[in-house]
Chain A
């Protein structure tokens, strides 16, 4: 369970460039819940992720994961419990290392790296099984350099790496935005499969209204560092992309939101 309690982040405080990236955000994500986050560029979605993952420290508020206060934990420490997949497929995997080495690195997750052998025979069957489920044929290419794979393949491997050691929370930052439609579809179905199989808490940023309606149990819309609306329950189940865009327009709070920005 993830909880954010009145969290605020301000960049360049006290200068003319002051940006209130997160403005008194409170959010509760239950175990096993899948949330999608939408909003225009600069709405604070990525800052929300950075503050949860520890890349950015909040000025105010408190962040808890499974009732443990992680607000000031360093990034690498909370990574034990948080799996992340980024928009750029190059960020999640390590080029120059093989698929096997990347997975081995992910398998260290949650303990400290020691002087055991980096690639272990005992893990081979485990890796093979994890990759086999994706039906991408990567399980036969364990010794291939990750740099040789396509964006979709790298993103699929990143997903497996992020969930390999069953984290408490999975953060997906527009992880299909850089992929072609086919690869995006594959990665999305893999995401659903992994989330269900591991009963994960998932928060996913997306620019696709379709994805926001198809995936997860709850939609959150952010604007100017605030959560402006949430759609859950019965309303969420019957939600269509057109409804979301209408809701978006009805905001009418004088911001420069446009369809073009929203759907970019």
Chain B
């Protein structure tokens, strides 16, 4: 990187340059991942699943990176959002309304964590563990005392369009597409929803309020000195972030065809992995790039996990172990690389 004074004097040109290299990395990554998927025989269902979980990755990005708040609430917000969505769908409400309520349910868990942190001065890590514990019971109550709610035969976002989509797909591309029709439909629907939510979030983070939230994570002292209530920023930030986890839960519930009380297990680790994978692979700088990177990270996570599964031909019982391995690789690889670099510097070569 050469930072000449003349380059510094042309901020617009350099901002464009940063965008260009980001897009370039994105294209290279897409080609590599696509290659892996076709060579490793990975089902495109992994993309749909990644998109379903993607907004939970954005939750972790919002809390850890934007707010600088160590928040595990996502583990509770995700199943509670899914449970709220499922019970509303079962009771005959539209999937859109159910998902909106999924957002509200997630946002309320975020609010609980924020209030515990602010009122009792309990740090985020502990506050969110308390909230997750309580949320488990609340989730069970939301699901009317059952630990599992099947959505079979109910109108979900996917089942609403699946028949028409399959017919259309077979008409257009022949009978061999029949098998992939649900996967493709998920990718399209979830892709649109994720893009829509990212658009709103991007707009929000670029408002004055969003700017104050971004500053809160970097320098709370300054935010107070600027006359802004930094507690309010934490409350709103955590509510929005965990609301997104609720939406992700709603999507995944509709994808799986059931809601389950243990759906959020280990989600925080997965979200962290997504954020770090996105950062390492895409090196995002601006707000928009960071949001895209978090989603991309979740996709890469799910695809590489699916790839490992098909390559090693593992049974589904091993899923959490493989998840942990992928997370370890995502967290550990950059550190190992740094150590290798300094080792090479010291001993030449």
Contact = CB atoms under 8 A, between A and B. Distances in A.
Interface of A: 53, 74-77, 79-80, 84, 86, 90-97, 101, 104-106, 108-110, 112-119, 140-144, 161-162
A91 B226 contact: no
A118 to B, nearest CB: 4
B8 interface: yes
Contacts of B226: 79, 105-106, 108-109, 161
Interface residues of B, number: 28
Given A94-B218, A144-B11, A110 B211 contact: no
A76 B229 contact: yes
Interface of B: 8-9, 11-12, 14-15, 204, 206-212, 214-215, 218-219, 221-230
Contact of B228 (A86, A113, A161): A113
24 contacts: A76-B227, A76-B229, A76-B230, A77-B227, A79-B225, A79-B226, A79-B227, A80-B227, A84-B225, A96-B218, A97-B211, A101-B214, A106-B226, A108-B208, A108-B227, A109-B226, A115-B209, A117-B206, A118-B210, A143-B14, A144-B8, A144-B11, A161-B226, A162-B225
Contact of B215 (A94, A119, A141): A94
B207 A140 contact: no
A86 B15 CA distance: 31
A95 B219 contact: yes
Nearest to B212: A113
Contact of A113 (B12, B209, B219): B209
B228 A141 contact: no
Contacts of A86: 221
Main secondary structure of the interface of A (DSSP, over half): loop
State the 3 A-B residue pairs at the shortest beta-carbon distance, nearest first: A143-B11, A79-B227, A118-B211
A218 to B, nearest CB: 25
A99 B214 CA distance: 14
A143 B209 contact: no
A115 B208 CA distance: 6
Contacts of B207: 113-118
B253 to A, nearest CB: 31
Among A76, A79, A115, A144, max chain B CB count under 10 A is at A76
Contact of B224 (A76, A117, A142): A76
A109 B222 contact: no
A105 B211 contact: yes
Max chain A Cβ within 10 angstroms of own Cβ: one of B15, B215, B223: B215
Contacts of A97: 211, 214-215, 218
A233 B108 CA distance: 60
A97 B228 CA distance: 17
Contacts of A109: 226-227
A97 B226 CA distance: 15
A145 B287 CA distance: 13
Given A93-B219, A110-B227, A143-B14, 15 more contacts: A76-B223, A77-B227, A79-B224, A79-B225, A79-B227, A80-B227, A94-B218, A96-B214, A105-B228, A108-B227, A114-B209, A115-B208, A115-B209, A141-B9, A143-B11
A86 B226 CA distance: 13
A90 B222 CA distance: 10
A104 B214 CA distance: 13
B149 to A, nearest CB: 37
B211 to A, nearest CB: 4
Contacts of B218: 94-97
A92 B225 contact: yes
Contacts of B204: 115
B12 A143 contact: yes
A144 B12 CA distance: 10
A94 B11 contact: no
A75 B219 contact: no
Nearest to B207: A115
B12, B15, B212, B230 — most chain A CB neighbours (10 Å)? B212
B200 to A, nearest CB: 12
B11 A113 contact: no
A79 B222 CA distance: 10
A151 to B, nearest CB: 15
B208 A91 contact: no
A122 to B, nearest CB: 13
